[in-house]
Amino acid sequence: MNLSFFDQFSSPSLLGIPLILISMLFPALLLPSLDNRWITNRLSTLQLWFINLVTKQLMMPLDKKGHKWALILTSLMIFLLLINLLGLLPYTFTPTTQLSMNLALAFPLWLATLLTGLRNQPSASLGHLLPEGTPTPLIPALILIETTSLLIRPLALGVRLTANLTAGHLLIQLISTATTALFSTMPMISLLTFLVLFLLTILEVAVAMIQAYVFVLLLSLYLQENI
């Protein structure tokens, strides 16, 4: 029984072919297609308003040099948001519960921000490893600690997103299983657990949106340090 709880996190396959790529590309079908007109309908207007809001929030702490990253950061935000929200639907697969995928997104972008800083301002980037005014005996230890904290940033990004979504999906499945199991014997208790399930689902919708925003926001903060 315990193993079945984790079956939802296994990548689906058809004839031995993994379908995770299709599940990653499916959110793109929900976006309105391009048209010659500036504004086609209310959905396009809402989409443009949301993209403008997200871009403004992500680019606010950055200067003009960081605005070159607006397209990739906004696209990543919308990509993660749609995947997280679609993963809350019944009988669906959430690719962002896979640590390998999250690390594949976090590591190249983190490395790009780091290389950008080393290319544009190497002294300032390396200066983050040693705070100003550090006592001489503590210099080796602080350099080691700061280097370790710098290198684990992509791992922290991937693990944070994976852990939050995995925990939420497990809680929803546990409470929904308890709701159906108690319905025939204790309907009142089943009703209470259903209410808890409803509130938890609302919470998970908020978590799905917040985690997508936090993932991209931290990348933008890492970029801010290096430009």
Tokens at 152, concatenated = 């684990």
- Kindly give, in sequence order, each residue whose CB lies less than 8 Å from that of residue 68, ignoring residues fewer than 6 positions away: none
Is 13 in a helix, a strand, or coil?
strand
Q: What is the pLDDT along the chain (227 residues), one digit of tens a residue?
A: 444 666 666 666 666 666 666 666 766 666 666 666 665 677 777 878 888 888 888 888 787 878 888 889 988 988 899 889 888 888 777 888 888 889 999 999 999 998 888 888 877 777 777 777 777 787 788 888 888 888 899 999 999 999 999 888 888 888 888 888 888 888 888 899 999 999 999 999 999 999 999 999 999 988 888 87
The neighbouring-strand residues paired with 14 are 17
Q: Give ∠ CA 31-32-35 in degrees, rounded to 5.
A: 145
pLDDT value of position 1: 45
Full-model pTM: 0.81
pLDDT value of position 33: 63
Residue whose token pair is 């399930």: 197
pLDDT value of position 15: 66
Q: Which amino acid is at 186?
A: M
Q: Give ∠ CA 158-162-168 in degrees, rounded to 5.
A: 155
Is 14 in a helix, a strand, or coil?
strand
Residue 181 φ/ψ, nearest 5 degrees: -70, -30
Give residue limits of the domains in the chain.
Answer: 19-226
Tokens at 86, concatenated = 């679609």
